[in-house]
Amino acid sequence: MATASFATPRVAPLAERQAALLSSSPASLEPAPAAPLLATPLSASPAARRSSPDSRFWNAALETQSRADWERLKLASLQAHLQHAYFGSPYYRAAWYAAGVHPSQLKTLDDLRRFPFINKKIVRDRQLAAPPLGDLCAVPERDIVYISASSGSTGVPTASPFTQQDFDDWIDYEARQFWSSGLRPEDRYAHSLNFSLFVGGPCVLGAQKLGALSIHAGTLPSERLLTVLRQFSVTAIWTTPSYAWYLGETAIKQGIDPARDLSVRRIFVAGEPGGSIPETRQRIEALWGASVYDYYGLSDIFGSCAGMCEEKNGLHWAEDHIHVEVLDPESGEPVAEGERGEMVLTTLKKSARPMIRFRTGDIVSVTTEPCACGRTSMRLLGVHGRLDDMLIIKGVNIFPSDVESIARKDKQLTGEYKLIVRRVAHLDELTVQIERVSADASVDAELAGRFAHHLKSVTGVSAKIEVLPPDTLPRETHKAKRVDDQRNNVWGK
């Protein structure tokens, strides 16, 4: 019973078609795309979109260019950006002078290794020394239109400033990232991240730029968020992996089956390693009947910097905005592609506050192999943890994410876990608390034995395993705190 209005392609007025023919760009000779199901979308402004709804790419020329073109683009951007930092920022000018380097010495991307590192402490110290925004800034304050702020462990908020151009670049990148994960103008999107000072908040504007109907949900209480998801038949949300899991469990407790009763089919997650742990992602996907896409972002640098395409094989990096080095944290030397190392980031365009060789403390691995989706940008294969989260137990490195993948694989476990490290008689002792799904305690010995065996084979570490009844461990709603390291706790708590 198809009616004409559903299937008729949009036909441009004659004058418009003649103008297109005269301008003779090959793209303008392609047939107009079929009209979307809703013939008059709410967000029909052509300026708001780069791509037609049936295009696979937001910016095909950029996203599918050769690796050699990526390298050329990055080098040209970096040369200009270092000059901008040198002339605009008193800090960089002094630090590079002291290190005996100058932007004019950068002839290849590898030359960047001659420039000194910065880190969170330097950013914080320079902000205190030259308040309110610090002398890493390379533009006058009147050119800055937005800051996000992150508090960090010392409680001193550090600001990340943006000029209008930086902000526009960021939002266009967000739209590109959402597009690569399959978000389209027909979607209804609930942005469920904190808006208060948090750089994740404005990412919602990327969904709006793409044309999706966007709901600024923020950190609504779970019951209200579930009501919103239901009332507006929301098709996509963005939250943390632990909150996606918590929200799904909350729904089930209220008699709502997320897979059957809700319309959410895409979940973007960020903020914790869980989104890149296949077992965690698959459990959230099964709970919601949805696809889960991991995103990575860092408030000091940009908004989100990388995200999964529909292949979900690593996270495509915002390579035109940020250059990545993966280094051995001890020696500072680059590790081989695919190996784990500390990620060091350099902005290529962000003019308000260039970040040149910022040590993130995140342990990652990357690849530049082409992706099956057709995009050629570098991909993060995983954020394996933070240097801060890395536990050294009897000389062996272990990340909470290693434990998580085991906890999420065993269907008789809820997937919740906690690591407790003590020093007993001068020896490290690791206890892992896990939760069984059933109320039946008779399976505990078997579950503990199986978990201990898997943990030992994956990490090489022996641990005491405590199996707890369901719903014992606290459900963290946003950033989950999974480690209690009591070794340096002089208060004996």
Judged by the rule CB under 5 A, the positions of this chain that interact with Zn ion are 309, 311, 371, 373, 375
Residue appearing with tokens 């060789």: 357
CB 205 to Zn ion: min, Å = 23
CB 473 to Zn ion: min, Å = 35
Cα separation values, 304 from 25, 61, 388, Å:
33, 21, 21
Please give the full DSSP string across 223-277, using - where no structure is assigned: HHHHHHHHHTT--EEEE-HHHHHHHHHHHHHTT--HHHH----EEEE-SSGGGGS
CB 293 to Zn ion: min, Å = 11
CB 379 to Zn ion: min, Å = 7
**Which one, 191 or 375, has the nearer CB to Zn ion?**
375
CB 324 to Zn ion: min, Å = 16
CB 375 to Zn ion: min, Å = 5
**Which one, 309 or 403, has the nearer CB to Zn ion?**
309
**Which one, 61 or 427, has the nearer CB to Zn ion?**
61
Q: For residue 458, how many other CB atoms are within 10 A of its CB? A: 13
**Which one, 193 or 371, has the nearer CB to Zn ion?**
371
CB 275 to Zn ion: min, Å = 15
CB 50 to Zn ion: min, Å = 18
Rounded Cα gap, residues 300 and 199, in angstroms: 9
Question: Residue 116 burial by CB count (10 A; 0-12/13-18/19+): exposed, middle or buried?
Answer: middle
Rounded Cα gap, residues 92 and 166, in angstroms: 19
Rounded Cα gap, residues 404 and 416, in angstroms: 8
Which tokens belong to 475?
A: 């459900």
Strand order through the sheet with 483-485:
464-468, 427-436, 413-424, 483-485
**Which one, 262 or 267, has the nearer CB to Zn ion?**
267
CB 391 to Zn ion: min, Å = 33
**Which one, 56 or 113, has the nearer CB to Zn ion?**
56
Cα separation values, 369 from 45, 182, 377, 425, Å:
36, 21, 9, 48
**Which one, 311 or 429, has the nearer CB to Zn ion?**
311
Rounded Cα gap, residues 233 and 154, in angstroms: 41
Residue 52: name the closest of 207, 179, 151 by CA.
179
Which tokens belong to 33?
A: 């795309």
Please give the full DSSP string across 97-164, using - where no structure is assigned: HHHT--GGG--SGGGGGGSPPB-HHHHHHHHHHSTTT-TT--S-GGGEEEEEEE--TTS--EEEEEEH
**Which one, 372 or 427, has the nearer CB to Zn ion?**
372
CB 453 to Zn ion: min, Å = 36
**Which one, 67 or 464, has the nearer CB to Zn ion?**
67
How many whole angstroms from its chain centre is CA 405?
19
**Which one, 288 or 293, has the nearer CB to Zn ion?**
293
Rounded Cα gap, residues 128 and 451, in angstroms: 47
Task: Count the helix, strand and coil residues of the chain and give each as a percent rounded to the nearest 5.
Answer: 35, 25, 40
